[in-house]
Amino acid sequence: MLWAAVYWPLFRLSPRPFHGWRSTLLRMFGARLGPNCHVYPGARIWAPWNLVCEDAVGIADGAVIYSAARIHLGSHSVISQDAYLCGATHDIDDPGFPMVCKPITVGPYAWICARATVCPGVTVAEGAVLGLGSIATRDLEAWTVYGGNPARRIRARRQHAP
């Protein structure tokens, strides 16, 4: 509840260039962020205490980080506008419909494009790209481009030296 009270006036309404300010707020609520992270004010982070970002991570306006379980973003990874990282679902076979939380890992130099979704428990390997509006229901291989619903391999991505 305290995070919700801080999010709107201090995070969401902060000026776009105030990345350091937003990083400080996230750290105050338990997020572990490396240097040079750019989290934009329109990003929605459900539970900062379950967020780990390595160096130079970008989280764009409109991105939703539903961190009911740990979400780990590797160095130089990018989460684009309106992307959705969903760390939980429900057990549809249990009459109590309990929440089931599973961690998400996005590797270094990976890119989750605009309006793409990463489902609970998925690992996006280093350098992988999940294309516009695509849905990753299974792990994505390193340095590979994926698209569609469910996401399918499109082609290899040229690997660059980090």
Give the model's pLDDT for residue 161: 61
Q: What share of the chain is helix, strand, coil (3-state, %, to 5)?
A: 15, 30, 55
Give the model's pLDDT for residue 84: 98
Give the model's pLDDT for residue 160: 76
Q: What is the mean pLDDT of residues 28-34?
A: 98
Residue 162 reports pLDDT greater than 70? no
Euclidean distance between CA atoms 16 and 22, whole angstroms = 10
Euclidean distance between CA atoms 23 and 41, whole angstroms = 11
pLDDT per residue as tens digits for the range 115-156: 999 999 999 999 999 999 999 999 999 999 999 999 999 999
Confidence of residue 29 (pLDDT cuts 50, 70, 90): very high
Percent of the chain with pLDDT over 70: 99
Give the model's pLDDT for residue 122: 98
pLDDT per residue as tens digits for the range 51-94: 999 999 999 999 999 999 999 999 999 999 999 999 999 999 99
Residue 46 reports pLDDT greater than 70? yes
Give the model's pLDDT for residue 26: 98
Give the model's pLDDT for residue 58: 98
DSSP string, 69-109: S-EEE-TT-EE-TT-EEE-EEE-TTSTT--EEE--EEE-TT
* Residue type, position 83, single letter: A
